[in-house]
Amino acid sequence: MIPIKSASQIKRMKEACRISAQALEVAGKSICDGMSTKELDNIINKFIVSCGAKPSFLGYGGFKGTACISINDEVIHGIPSRRRIIKSGDIVSIDVGAYYDGFHGDNAYTFAVGEISPEASKLLDITEECLYKGIEQARPGARIGDISSAIERHATAHSLGVVKKFVGHGVGADLHEPPDVPNFGVAGRGPRLTEGMTLAIEPMINLVGDGVVIMPDKWTVKTASGSLSAHFEHTIAITSDGAVILTKP
């Protein structure tokens, strides 16, 4: 069953989302050439805790970081490490959540470190556009497939690969709730959207192909092609006026 939130619950959830969004903003301002992903993770952790919140990901399923930090051909779930050094020219996807007052916020952004290649820049632009194409479809009476189809159409129109093994999801009192929100699909299909639903929409788009490989650490996901991948995510609420983005700083 898909959880439906009341207006008061969404107001509480908005605070968790605000903290999560600000943590992502802090990460973006801190990231630099020569920094380890563990050092960046520590900065994110310190900020979330300073807000009186808890990192949603830390310990989730045994995950050992506050944020998932994934570089270049890593799609998602990169584990922070002192040995993993960020370099100029990298693209770095940071996925972070905060738990506050009984609710989670969840968001992601792929940052350019220094000057990146034109193809990397295009990938980031199109993937972020995919996120907002999906959000535009999120309104009462629409279906999950309308979100999914809009994302897929925009990505494939630019000859990019849509990751199908991993999808978006409902979010609220639990980090992952029904329904699944795929980044591919057919318009007019899937659960109907109603006021009070809260969703994490998160396109994961590869420069080449849709295939992915899970690494031996059982967390890090890389592109099968070895090409770059980007990841953008917002938590939204479905209201009578359409989608409201909750994860804004």
pLDDT, one tens digit per residue, over 182-203 is: 999 999 999 999 999 999 999 9
Report the pLDDT averaged over residues 126-137: 98
CB atoms within 10 A of CB 92: 23
What was the pLDDT predicted at 215? 98
Q: Of 85, 81, 78, which is closest to residue 108 (Cα–Cα)?
A: 78
pLDDT, one tens digit per residue, over 28-83 is: 999 999 999 999 999 999 999 999 999 999 999 999 999 999 999 999 999 999 99
**Is pLDDT of 237 > 90?**
yes
Share of the chain above pLDDT 70, in %: 100
What was the pLDDT predicted at 162? 98
Question: Which residue ranges form the domains of the chain, and what is each CATH number?
Answer: 7-245 (3.90.230.10)
What was the pLDDT predicted at 249? 81
Helix 37-50 to helix 7-30 angle, to the nearest 10 degrees?
140
pLDDT, one tens digit per residue, over 145-181 is: 999 999 999 999 999 999 999 999 999 999 999 999 9
